[in-house]
Amino acid sequence: MTTRVAEGLGSLALITALCLGAAAPAEAADGDSVEHRLGLLQDEVTGLKADFEGRPTLNGYYDFEYMVDNDPENPSTFRQHHLTIFVGAHRGPWRLLSEIEFEDGTNLEGDGTDVEGKGAVNAENAWLERVFSDALTVRTGKFLLPHYWNVNHYPNVALSTNRPLMVRKVFPTDATGLMAFGNRFQGSLGATWHAYVGNGDSAGGTDDNENKAAGAHLTVHLGELWAPFVRVDFGGGVHSERTGAGAASDAMDVWGVDAQFNSHVVEVLFEYARRSADQKREGLYVQPSVKVADAVRLFYRYDWLDTGALNQTRHTAGVNVQPRPDLALKLEVDTNHFEDSAQDAFEQVAASVALFF
């Protein structure tokens, strides 16, 4: 066996030497050097990249829910909550995104004047942006306002089926206008900033308010400064507008703070916001979670919201299982209490499945 191996290796070496010796003059004559071939390959990769960047992208997500509570007036219910389609495009420094959301098994019919049916269709995002650098991007169109859960609400990202009580109830959800944002990092330390101006509050689907809304948000990233956390972020934001028009207008000012801590195993999310307007609002949530297995995370959340008309507290405990990054299975139980004794406390169980595609 040893002799055969040696003979085989000797033959392989001889054949290799003959091939290299025969190929050398051809490379010199034809200009087909390694450097030349690498250059051709680089040109091909560059061309493919440009072709890929020029093509639209299609993604989306789907989520399905089941909810039941002990309020006799509320029946248990299945809910096909979202089917959302993202369409994106990339042209050099220009990027476009549209997010069309079909809610609650949308089935709409129209006669040219009125639309009837069930469910809803909503363009949650529809924007075009120009990237100048990491420190500056300018976005135009309809966009979500830059508050933590509002931006990270997607069902395959959020641990719970139900979002916190305060989300979209204190700060507005979105705006149509202009936004500038960017970030700067030095190692793991850095900051991300957003500033925007958009249409003010309007009664109908068109902008009937001469006043404009404006706001800003700043997040400071402390990276791995506090062991054992690998992510420590502190943020704060403001929003101001005059709702309505003319003499009937009223100032609405909102401010809030948020924080996120993550050690891979333990994560803590926190947000607080307060609105001063004709109807003051205030709310917060704290959500710690712990990873107990590769795909399993247990979480608890304390919620509080005061809208003036309603003062509610909620405690939620649940489990989120992600057998793969784009698939989430969720189960949670919550208890709800109200400051007004006329409002009955109740408990709820929620389960859902969410898939990003």
Q: Does any domain span residue 348?
A: yes
Instruction: Give the residue numbers spanning the domain of 203.
Output: 56-71+131-356
Structure pTM? 0.80
**184 and 37, same domain (yes or no):** no
Indicate whether 10 and 33 sit together in one domain.
yes
User: Looking at residue 166, what DSSP letter applies?
Assistant: T
Q: What are phi and psi of 279, to 5 degrees?
A: -125, 105
CA 220, 221, 225, 228 torsion-angle sign: positive
Same domain, 2 and 67: no
Q: Is 63 left (phi over 0), alpha (psi -120 to 50) or beta?
A: beta
Give the three-class secondary structure for 294: coil
Same domain (yes/no): 333, 215: yes
Domains in the chain, number: 2
Same domain for 329 and 212?
A: yes
Co-location of 254 and 153 in the same domain:
yes
Q: Do 171 and 228 have their domain in common?
A: yes
* 270 domain residue, yes or no: yes
- Asked if 193 and 282 sit in the same domain, the reply is yes
For residue 109, tell me if it sits in a domain.
no
Same domain, 39 and 66: no
- Asked, for residue 6, whether it belongs to a domain, the answer is yes
Q: Do residues 25 and 64 share a domain? A: no
Residues 8 and 149 in one domain: no
DSSP, collapsed to helix, strand or coil, labels residue 73 as coil
User: What does each of the 357 residues of the chain score in pLDDT, given as a tens digit?
Assistant: 444 434 443 443 433 333 334 334 433 344 455 555 556 656 655 555 555 566 899 999 999 999 999 987 888 999 999 999 999 999 999 999 999 999 987 776 766 666 667 788 999 999 999 999 999 999 999 999 999 999 999 998 999 999 999 999 999 999 999 999 999 999 889 999 999 999 877 655 566 667 889 999 999 999 888 888 899 999 999 999 887 655 445 788 999 999 999 998 999 999 999 999 777 899 999 999 999 999 999 999 999 999 998 999 999 999 999 999 999 999 999 999 999 888 899 999 999 999 999
101: in domain:
no
